[in-house]
Amino acid sequence: MTVSTPWRLVVRRLSLIAVLLMAGLLLSQLTVAQSDPDKEAGFAVPAVDADIWRQVRSGDTGPNYRDSRADSNYNLVNASGETWRQWRNQWVSPYGLIVLGGMLAMIAIFYVIFGRKALDEPRTGRKLLRWTVLDRSLHWSVATLFLVLAVTGLNLLYGKFVFKPLFGDALWASMISGSKLLHNYLGPIFSILLIIVLAKFLKHNLPKKHDWEWFKKGGGLIGKGHVDAGFANGGEKVWYWLLASVGLLVIASGFVLDFPNYGQARDTMQWANLLHAVAALGLTAVAFGHIYIGTLGTEGSIEGMSTGYVDETWAKEHHNLWYEEVKDSARDETELASENVQRHPPDNPATDRPG
């Protein structure tokens, strides 16, 4: 149909297009010349506007986010870091100190007012096996590791305020790097041992009905009275279950922090760090109580965890239900002592001499 379009028409159309183009070019030139800089700026600026910054702050990167650093998992601005810093420095750090100091002060005041809880009756001299060698080895291994981890952990949180100005950079450098190494390498060993201890002592720590009575009477901590208790009393069970809950939380969060090789996100480690610090500071405060009651606070308790044996009187007064179960196995302390001598004869230089 258009095959026979006359040439005249084609020329006219082309010239019309040319005129329109020229006009368009002229008009666009005019527009540029007349534009005011403020308006132009509005067009020239790509959208680095409030919305973009809001998106950046939210941590949402979107599919078209690029970072030229290899393996970078950072947004442009990572606001969570500041949140973590505020939580750690404004809350965990000062309140941790208050909790630990408060606990020590309470124990000191308690000791001054009520003193050591002595045995009411004289000792019978007959001993009951309370903790086997394995129990004691596990206890003291976990206890030692707990103390090392607590001291090094506290040094990581508070040391710079005390020891850096006190000792100077050189000593402080080895002190703090030693703390970190001990904390990071002993932590996993502590974790494994604590889980073994929890499994081994579980049977003693299942809640019983008489534990409720024990709590209602405050464990007989103050005054002369004694409350029913089996192998473990209510307080010991609380310590056990704190370790089985908060302790495991410390372990879990510790593993998150200790093994960055698994590539967990920084935000995960921030929360793990806060949980780890709060839970560990809390456990340390309770541990002060456990240590006090086990050593200075109660006559005869430390004997159980050092020699394995406790006196009948101690068992009767502190763990009467357990005493009823095992009283037939009581042995005289002189008998035990001679047995001990046979097992570990004292050095006799005369026998070493030849001839």
Q: How far is the CB of 255 from another protein (least distance, A)?
A: 10
Binding pattern to another protein, positions 90-109, x when CB under 8 A?
A: --------------------
Residue 230 host element (H or E): none
CB burial string 2-14: b at 16+ within 10 A, e below: eeeeeeeeeeeee
Question: What are the structure tokens assigned to 89, written together?
Answer: 């420095």
- Stretch of residues binding another protein (CB under 8 A), selected from 80-88, 98-106, 314-322, 336-344: 80-88
User: What is residue 208's three-state secondary structure?
Assistant: coil
**Out of 7, 169, 349, 350, the residue judged to bind another protein by CB under 8 A:** 169
Full 3-state SS string of 39-65: HHHHHHCCCCCHHHHHHHHHCCCCCCC
Q: Which is nearer to another protein, 2 or 68 (CB)?
A: 68
Q: Which is nearer to another protein, 74 or 95 (CB)?
A: 74
Strands 309-311 and 331-332: unpaired
Q: How far is the CB of 41 from another protein (least distance, A)?
A: 4
Within residues 23-42, the interface with another protein by CB under 8 A covers: 37-42
320 close to 228: Cβ distance less than 8 angstroms: yes
Residue 166 exposure: Cα atoms within 13 Å on the Cβ side: 7
**Out of 100, 117, 172, 229, the residue judged to bind another protein by CB under 8 A:** 172
How would you class 141 by CB atoms within 10 Å of its CB: exposed for 0-12, middle for 13-18, buried for 19 or more? middle
Q: Which is nearer to another protein, 78 or 307 (CB)?
A: 78
Q: Which is nearer to another protein, 18 or 76 (CB)?
A: 76
Which residues sit at the interface with another protein, rule CB under 8 A? 37-48, 52, 55-56, 62, 64-70, 72, 74-79, 81-82, 84-85, 88-89, 155-157, 159-160, 164, 169, 172-173, 176-177, 179-180, 184-185, 188, 257-261, 263, 266, 269-270, 273
